[in-house]
Amino acid sequence: MTSNGASVIFISENHSRHRKNLTVHKKSERVKTAYEEYFIDKLTKHKFDVVFIIKGTQLTQKCLSAIKHYKHAIKILYQFDSIERYPWIKDLLPYFDFNFTFDNTDSLKYNMLFRPLFFAEDIINIKREKHRGSKYLLSSICSYYPQRISILKKLKHEYKEQAYFYVYMSKSNLVKNIFDLQISDFKLLRLKSKDRAYMLQNMQNSISIVDIEFEGQNGLTIRTLETIGMQKKLITTNNNIKFYNFYDPSYIFILQKDLSNLMELREFLDSPTDSIPKSILKMYSLQEWCKDIFTNNPSHFLITSINVVNG
């Protein structure tokens, strides 16, 4: 946004989490109050042309009221999570002039504007590795989710050293889920997250990227679009990807969650691919995403029916 001439003031949702005066016992209520003060102070001290909220996890009723009564700006909300997973999102919609979602189902069901996520510009500049020079046949660096690690374990068993999977789990999440974990999970679980540079290097060194969406999620993840932007092969469990204009079976393999089509996966990994047209790739760039959001006109992503396949 700044590169396009905009003056931007960033209001972090994580601001209050780092305040040293918050104690464990009083954290919840004091975090809420601290964030309200921080957010409203930032909002009222400046005259914005646009108030742009991404997700809005920490927005309290006071914050929403402040947004509603802020008369000087266009108010825009963007959601990269599905309302089926986070029903509270519905409560935010009346406070904004434009509500965007990455989920085509939510777009039609809740009268939101459909705009998929994006890949950053640095993705395009990463050289595609040839099949012979790639270190891994398939890889994934992701956060923990029970169904996700279950599928990755089976793929690891099938592809052995040809597969690289790094599943991050925070220490607090480990404590919370310790009795639900299996011993075999710890072969993939790691307590330290990897930075973006490491993830991009890993993608570059892999022939294909595995992306397993959360249950109830219909929209495409950033990892999916980064893979497309890098023109790597994608293995995904999200059936809805077949309704996007870049879908090409030579590039994208829809893995059944019960792994019933695992034999076909080997054929996919060995098959050649064609280049994705630049005109289609451009639509999913960060620059085009910003243009669509701030002109409020993602018309090239217009959908007229709900195409959702659960599997």
Average pLDDT over residues 9-32: 61
Average pLDDT, the chain: 87
Of 268, 269, 283, 271, nearest to 229 by C-alpha is 283
Phi, psi angles (nearest 5°) of residue 141: -120, 115
User: What pLDDT score was predicted for residue 17?
Assistant: 47
pLDDT at 264: 96
Give residue 298's pLDDT band: very low, low, confident or very high (50, 70, 90).
low
What's the confidence (pLDDT) of residue 25? 39
Amino acid identity, residue 274? D
**H/E element, 77:** strand 74-79
* Bridge partners of residue 46, in order along the sequence: none
* Mode of pairing for the β-strands spanning 163-168 and 136-143: parallel
* Residue 66 CA from chain centroid, whole number: 28
What type of residue is 190?
R
- Which of 222, 189, 187, 227 shows the shortest CA–CA distance to 208? 227
Locate 151 and state its tokens. 């599928």
The per-residue pLDDT for 306 is 40
**Which is it for strands 233-236 and 252-254: parallel, antiparallel or unpaired?**
parallel
Residue 22, pLDDT > 90, answer no
> Are 97 and 74 within 8 A, CB to CB?
yes
DSSP one-letter code for 137: E
Q: What are phi and psi of 175, to 5 degrees?
A: -60, -40
Answer for the pair 96, 53: CB distance below 8 angstroms, yes or no: yes
Q: What's the pLDDT score for residue 305? A: 40
- Alpha-carbon gap, residue 106 to 86, rounded angstroms: 11
Q: How far apart are CA 249 and CA 235, in angstroms?
A: 10
Q: What is the pTM of this model?
A: 0.86
Q: Does position 311 have pLDDT exceeding 70, yes or no? A: no
Q: What pLDDT is attached to residue 302?
A: 53
| Mean pLDDT in residue range 185-211 | 94
Share of the chain above pLDDT 70, in %: 88
Residue 21's pLDDT is 43
Could you tell me where the DSSP H helices lie in 125-277?
A: 146-159, 171-177, 196-204, 222-229, 262-270
Residue 38 reports pLDDT greater than 50:
yes
- The pLDDT of residue 133 is 62
- The confidence score (pLDDT) of residue 176 equals 92
Q: Which of 185, 154, 180, 151 is nearest to 168 (CA)?
A: 185
Banded pLDDT at 97 (limits 50, 70, 90): very high
Residues 190 and 168: their CA atoms lie apart, in Å, by: 5
**pLDDT for position 47:** 87
